[in-house]
Amino acid sequence: MKNTLFLPTTFLLLFAACTSDTREAPQSITYWSANNQYEIDLAKVVVAEWNQQHPDFPVQHQPIPEGQSSEEVILAAVVGKNAPDVYSNMWPGDVQLYARARVLMPLNQFADFDSVMQARNSAETLREARSLDGNTYQIAWKTNPIMMIYNSKMLRQNGFDHPPATYSEFIEQAKVITADLDGDGYTDRYMSLLDIRVTWWQRFFDFYTFYIAASGGKMLMQDGKIIFDNPSAVAVFRFLRFLFEKGYCPLEKAQGRVDAFLSERVATRFTGPWEIKHAEKFKPEGFEYDFAPVPVPDDFAGPRYTYGDIKSIVMFKTRQKSQKVWQFVKFLISQKNDYRLLELTTQLPVRKNILQDSLFQNYFVKNPALAVFAKQAEFIRGTDLSAGLKEIFDAISQEYEASVVYGAKSAEEAVKDAAQRARLILK
């Protein structure tokens, strides 16, 4: 009898122990940061200072667990009801999904939200972060504006003393730069490199960046409606198609083992400030490079916007006391910690008037390459807040591939079809 009951009893006791729900709400905040070394170092410094000042409500920092992508890990954590109180690497395109599922804290419910945010961000940035339901679930924390990196020495040696600023200039320089250097009948040097993979997020770094620049800062949607079927999008498709058609860009997937830019196979690329550290580390001797805004149509006038590749801070609805968590979020986005973000990670905080701020000025004097990005950061756009954004970008990517890469469709037709599909997705 004893034997008969031993196993079920043990099992049940273990089960009861595991399912016990008598735990108190923890007296600490869990904070997940991105898991690159620079941001881990930053989080450690920030959290150490917070914990020193708030021993009654400490923060436990953890880099986001390894996974195929941080988006997937966060999704798994939310589904498993294991999400952190604060997460600082949220892709804004996913915010709407979680907001709709009511797992995010509306930050505008805090009494001092408006005053804190107005001191930090421009009205434009705050409007962009606001969801369609009128609530704000995210704080735009850091940005990596996409710009054109160019081989200044190569351009100079070929008779160009400035980087191309317009489509015509880009094409004019491409005619000279693109060349078969060894006479074997194959092109050895190209003007630029654009990723030809159809994966939806690749379009952030080509079509979307060029579209934002060409349209003077328009996004795909306005008031929840698709607006990208306009002459700017068509102009971008046409221009990029021309580059592939004339062979100024290789019709080849970028290979990880060779850096086409540093090995001087291409004269330009479209990239973010992370390229600075990489280029400084791996550039060959005598290699010269600089950054410039993305080229725009010839008749364009006005500020040259770009895609900001913004990452946000969000607060998940947990059992934690939200006021305390909000205090930590405010601490995280304070001027001092924004400076640490810049200094330790070389990523730009989304903060207005950063170039005029005396705290940041010295840093930019010492790091002029990053000052170019800081200047560009005044004219950035993020992504629209829509739960169907990935699908919309997928639709654009399908049409981009058909029209720009393979020329199977006209630019007008491709843009029209992409917009039509996007409208269906929103329905």
Partner 1 sequence: MLKQVRRTFLLIKTMKILKIITAKFAKNDRIGYALVMPYIVHFCLFIAFPFGFCFVLLFHKWDIVSEMQWVGAGNFYHIFQDKLFFKAIRNTFTFLLVHIPLQIGIALFLAEMLNQKIKFRGFFRSVYFMPVVVSGVVITILWDQLYAQDTGVINMIFVQLGLPKMPWLTSPYLAMPSIAIMATWKNVGIYVVLFLVGLQNVPKQLYEAADLEGASHWYKFSRITLPMINPTMLMVVILSTINGFNLFIEPYVMTGGGPMNSTLSAVLYIYNQGFYFYHMGYAATLGFCFAAIVFLVVFLQRKLVEQKPLD
Nearer to partner 1, 40 or 425 (CB): 425
Distance CA 108, CA 40 (A): 28
CA 125, 271, 392 angle in degrees (round to 5)? Answer: 60
Q: Interface mask (CB under 8 A) for partner 1, residues 252-271, using x and -? A: xx-x-xx-------------
> Which pairing describes strands 59-63 and 29-33: parallel, antiparallel, or unpaired?
parallel
Does residue 14 belong to the site contacting partner 1 (CB under 8 A)? no
Beta strands (DSSP E) in 20-109 are 29-33, 59-63, 86-90
Closest approach of partner 1 to the CB of residue 327, in Å? 27
When binding is defined by CB under 8 A, the residue of 37, 118, 157, 199 that contacts partner 1 is 199
Does residue 405 belong to the site contacting partner 1 (CB under 8 A)? yes
Q: Which two tokens stand for residue 322?
A: 């939200």
Instruction: Give Cα 61 distance to the centre of its chain.
Output: 22
Closest approach of partner 1 to the CB of residue 134, in Å? 19
Closest approach of partner 1 to the CB of residue 234, in Å? 20
CB neighbours of 36 closer than 8 A, spacing ≥ 6?
345
When binding is defined by CB under 8 A, the residue of 165, 198, 279, 426 that contacts partner 1 is 198
Does residue 186 belong to the site contacting partner 1 (CB under 8 A)? yes
Distance CA 214, CA 231 (A): 9
Which neighbouring-strand residues pair with 148? 270, 292
3-state helix, strand, coil in the chain (%, to 5): 45, 15, 40
Q: Interface mask (CB under 8 A) for partner 1, residues 333-352, using x and -? A: --------------------
Q: What is the C-alpha radius of gyration for the chain, rounded to an integer number of angstroms?
A: 24
Closest approach of partner 1 to the CB of residue 391, in Å? 5
Nearer to partner 1, 12 or 45 (CB): 12
Distance CA 411, CA 333 (A): 42
Closest approach of partner 1 to the CB of residue 255, in Å? 5
Does residue 75 belong to the site contacting partner 1 (CB under 8 A)? yes
Number of residues that bind partner 1 (CB under 8 A): 41
When binding is defined by CB under 8 A, the residue of 45, 251, 355, 359 that contacts partner 1 is 251
Restricting to residues 201-230, name those near partner 1 by CB under 8 A. Answer: none
Closest approach of partner 1 to the CB of residue 231, in Å? 26
Closest approach of partner 1 to the CB of residue 194, in Å? 13
> Measured on CA atoms in the order 44, 45, 46, 50, is the torsion positive or negative?
positive
When binding is defined by CB under 8 A, the residue of 156, 197, 225, 246 that contacts partner 1 is 197
Does residue 98 belong to the site contacting partner 1 (CB under 8 A)? yes
Distance CA 313, CA 88 (A): 4
Element (H, E) at 129: helix 123-129
Distance CA 78, CA 393 (A): 24
Distance CA 270, CA 260 (A): 12
CB 417, CB 409: distance < 8 Å: yes
Does residue 133 belong to the site contacting partner 1 (CB under 8 A)? no
Does residue 246 belong to the site contacting partner 1 (CB under 8 A)? no
Closest approach of partner 1 to the CB of residue 311, in Å? 19
Q: Taking contact as CB under 8 A, which single stretch among the options 222-230, 244-252, 288-296, 324-332 is the one that binds partner 1?
A: 244-252
Distance CA 286, CA 268 (A): 17
When binding is defined by CB under 8 A, the residue of 2, 8, 285, 366 that contacts partner 1 is 8
CB 327, CB 113: distance < 8 Å: no
- The dihedrals phi and psi of 404, each to the nearest 5 degrees, come to -75, -50
Nearer to partner 1, 5 or 301 (CB): 5
Does residue 17 belong to the site contacting partner 1 (CB under 8 A)? no
Q: Interface mask (CB under 8 A) for partner 1, residues 357-396, using x and -? A: ------------------------------x--xx--x--
Closest approach of partner 1 to the CB of residue 280, in Å? 25
Distance CA 315, CA 108 (A): 12
Distance CA 392, CA 418 (A): 8
Does residue 12 belong to the site contacting partner 1 (CB under 8 A)? yes
Beta strands (DSSP E) in 320-366 are 348-349
Footprint of partner 1 on this chain (CB under 8 A)? 4-5, 8-9, 12-13, 16, 22, 72, 75, 78-79, 97-98, 100-101, 103, 184, 186, 196-200, 250-253, 255, 257-258, 387, 390-391, 394, 398, 401-402, 405-406, 408
